[in-house]
């Protein structure tokens, strides 16, 4: 019976009756029997003339794609059910959801393997045959179906704690798809030139493929851009895996710093965090450099906040002068945080499986913003003895605030809630806040420039006392300007 069914399916394929062939294979309920039928048809491609092999591959691609789409839709249904249950433990539902994800990845893996085989066929087919309409349509379908597989992969509602998936498994599959797509596009461009294809994207409301015209050259550029991003992300994962034992030690070291911070041993905590960061820098583990920097910022700000509470009513006690190193340590590390968040955003693919990463960037931009704006307030509240270091500190501080706000803009965040000193939690418009602090940075730069000009004037012929008096007046003017900053 199985043999007759296979012969019937093959007959329909060769007679260009693909729908009938698909209908026959979809009636097979036994999964193992279905797999055997598929393997037999795949075997038929070996040794068949190119124009016959194309028909088999068309059938295999379409069948695989139908199963991919069904498993994708099924996973959406299960994921939505789980969301409605607020992620409560429902073992049967979780098991079904995990099964859906496995089916998606299995189908995508099978697709990529089929595309690789088809690529071998294309590469070994003479140029004149490639120009025939049947091959033209075949290569176009390969390109489109490859892109659809990529879209399904990247847009999978990947809830890692449910599906037990790692980013790397997605990135590996995406990389394989990009490699196949690159070769397909190059062959098509060489054979047919820079034509226009109806290229698929995913409608994120319906999760259905929609198509828009794109030139082959534009698709190649898109593919290259994606490959660069995916490659960078994979390299980061591989480096982390290479130094797995070191990362365990780094994590333990940061935990030790946390214990010192809880005990209010701020200087010892700083030393612990700083030492950890230096180790992470030696190994070029950017994620752990970020975490060490972040811990230092929290440590410095906690210490400054405590001192501010103690001396807040006594403004003659210049906290900035006494804790200048703490202020600068906070800023140096805050800048590393801002640079990390901005750099990582350039490797962000903006798809579902990256949402967790996006949330991370937004959260830590917000927390670091609060810290920097509050330290601005602390500094300006002790600005009666304003001098060059304070101006430079504030300018540095505000430039980092602008970087963090730019990161939020890059993530299309319109509003943000900030808990600032002297206020309850307030919602701010990000674009307006960025404009505000850009203006403040320009103003601070002007103050710095005018101060430098006064310093470079020819030395006064008057006594030192007069020069000191002039400097005092200059500092008072700076203090007045700073008071108007409203940082």
Which of the listed residues 210, 241, 272 is the one where a domain comes to its end?
241
4: in domain: no
Where does the pLDDT of residue 443 fall: very low under 50, low under 70, confident under 90, or very high at 90 and above? confident
Give the mean model confidence (pLDDT) for residues 374-389: 73
pLDDT tens digit sequence for 249-285: 999 999 999 999 999 999 999 999 999 999 999 999 9
What is the predicted pLDDT for the residue at 352?
A: 66
Please check whether residues 469 and 376 belong to one and the same domain: yes
161 and 210 assigned to the same domain: yes
Helix (H, G, I), strand (E, B) or coil at 382: coil
Number of domains composing the chain: 2
Q: How much is the CA Rg of the chain, to the nearest whole Å? A: 31
Query: Is-contact 66 22, C-beta < 8 A?
Result: yes
Q: What is the pLDDT of residues 39-48, one digit of tens each?
A: 888 888 887 8
138 occurs within a structural domain:
yes
The range of the structural domain enclosing residue 386 comes to: 244-483
Question: Where among 215, 241, 267 does a domain terminate?
Answer: 241
Q: Is 322 found in the same domain as 200?
A: no
Q: Which long-range contacts (CB under 8 A, 24 or more apart) does 94-99 make?
A: 94/162, 97/159, 97/162, 97/163, 98/162, 98/163, 98/164
In a domain, 7, yes or no: no
| 103 and 53 assigned to the same domain | yes
**What is the CATH classification number for the domain harbouring 226?**
1.20.1050
Taking CA atoms, 370 is separated from 329, 345, 486, in Å, by: 17, 20, 15
Can you give the pLDDT at residue 386? 55
Whether residue 108 sits in one domain with residue 145: yes
Residue 312 and residue 371 in one domain: yes
Cα dist. 56→67, 197, 396, 400, 410 in Å?
Answer: 17, 23, 64, 59, 46
Specify the pairing of strand 208-215 against strand 415-418: unpaired
In a domain, 1, yes or no: no
Residue 363 has pLDDT above 80, yes or no: yes
Q: Does residue 324 form part of some domain?
A: yes
The answer to whether residue 425 is domain-embedded is yes
Range with the lowest mean pLDDT among 138-142, 200-204, 277-281, 389-393?
A: 200-204
Mean pLDDT calculated for residue range 328-332: 94
- Nearest Cα neighbor of 395 from 320, 472, 473, 448 is 448
Question: DSSP assignment of 417-478, as one string?
Answer: EE--TTS--EEEEHHHHHHHHHHHHHHHHHHHHHHHHHHHSPPPSS-HHHHHHHHHHHHHHH
pLDDT beyond 90 at 85 = no
- Give the sign of the dihedral formed by CA 85, CA 91, CA 96, CA 100: positive
C-alpha 398/C-alpha 487 separation (Å) is: 9
**Mean pLDDT on 161-183:** 75
In this structure, the answer to whether residues 266 and 226 fall within a common structural domain is no
Residue 443 CA to residue 204 CA, distance in Å, equals: 44
Please compute the mean of the pLDDT values over residues 245-250 and round it to a whole number: 92
Confidence (pTM): 0.75
Residue 63 sits in the same domain as residue 96: yes
315 with 367, same domain? yes
431 and 407 belong to one structural domain: yes
The DSSP letter of residue 125 is S
Q: Cα 185 to chain center, whole Å? A: 27
The answer to whether residue 32 is domain-embedded is no
| Mean pLDDT comparison of 145-154, 281-290, 381-390, highest-scoring range | 281-290
- Over 60: is that where the pLDDT of 410 sits? yes
What pLDDT does residue 204 have? 67
């Amino acid at each position: 019976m199985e043999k007759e069914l296979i012969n019937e399916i093959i007959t329909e394929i060769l007679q260009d009756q693909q729908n009938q062939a698909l209908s026959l294979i979809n009636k097979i309920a036994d999964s193992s029997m279905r797999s055997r039928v598929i393997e037999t048809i795949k075997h038929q491609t070996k040794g068949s003339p190119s124009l016959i092999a194309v028909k088999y591959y068309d059938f295999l691609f379409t069948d695989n794609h139908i199963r991919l789409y069904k498993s994708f839709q099924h996973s959406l249904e299960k994921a939505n059910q789980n969301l409605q249950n607020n992620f409560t433990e429902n073992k049967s539902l979780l098991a079904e959801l995990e099964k859906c994800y496995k089916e998606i990845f299995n189908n995508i893996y099978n697709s990529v393997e089929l595309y690789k085989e088809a690529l071998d066929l294309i590469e070994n087919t003479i140029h004149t045959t490639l120009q025939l309409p049947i091959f033209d349509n075949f290569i176009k379908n390969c390109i489109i179906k490859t892109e659809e597989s990529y879209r399904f992969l990247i847009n999978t509602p990947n809830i890692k704690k449910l599906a037990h998936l790692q980013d790397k498994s997605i990135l590996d599959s995406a990389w394989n798809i990009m490699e196949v797509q690159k070769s397909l596009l190059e062959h098509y461009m060489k054979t047919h030139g820079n034509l226009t294809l109806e290229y698929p994207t995913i409608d994120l409301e319906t999760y259905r493929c929609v198509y828009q015209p794109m030139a082959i050259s534009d698709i190649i550029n898109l593919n290259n851009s994606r490959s660069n991003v995916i490659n960078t992300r994979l390299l980061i994962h591989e480096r982390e895996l290479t130094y797995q034992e070191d990362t365990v030690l780094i994590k333990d070291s940061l935990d030790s710093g946390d214990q010192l911070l809880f005990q209010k041993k701020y200087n010892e905590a700083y030393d612990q965090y700083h030492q950890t960061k230096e180790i992470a820098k030696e190994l070029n583990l950017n994620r752990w450099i970020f975490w060490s920097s972040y811990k230092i910022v929290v440590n410095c700000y906690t210490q400054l906040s405590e001192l501010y509470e103690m001396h807040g009513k006594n403004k003659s006690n210049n906290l900035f002068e006494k804790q200048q190193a703490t202020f600068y340590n906070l800023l140096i590390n805050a800048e590393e945080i801002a640079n990390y968040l901005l750099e990582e955003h350039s490797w962000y693919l903006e798809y579902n499986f990256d949402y967790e990463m996006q949330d991370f960037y937004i959260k830590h931009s917000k927390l670091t913003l609060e810290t920097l704006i509050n330290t601005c307030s602390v500094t300006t509240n002790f600005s009666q003895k304003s001098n060059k270091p304070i101006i430079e500190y504030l300018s540095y501080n505000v430039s980092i605030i602008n970087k963090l706000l730019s990161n939020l803009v890059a993530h299309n965040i319109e509003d943000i809630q900030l808990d600032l000193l002297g206020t309850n939690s307030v919602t701010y418009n990000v674009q307006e806040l960025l404009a505000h602090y850009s203006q403040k940075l320009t103003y601070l730069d002007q103050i710095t420039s005018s101060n430098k000009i006064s310093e470079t004037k020819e030395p006064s012929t008057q006594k030192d006392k007069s020069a000191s008096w002039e400097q005092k007046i200059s500092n008072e003017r700076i203090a007045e300007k700073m008071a108007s900053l409203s940082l």
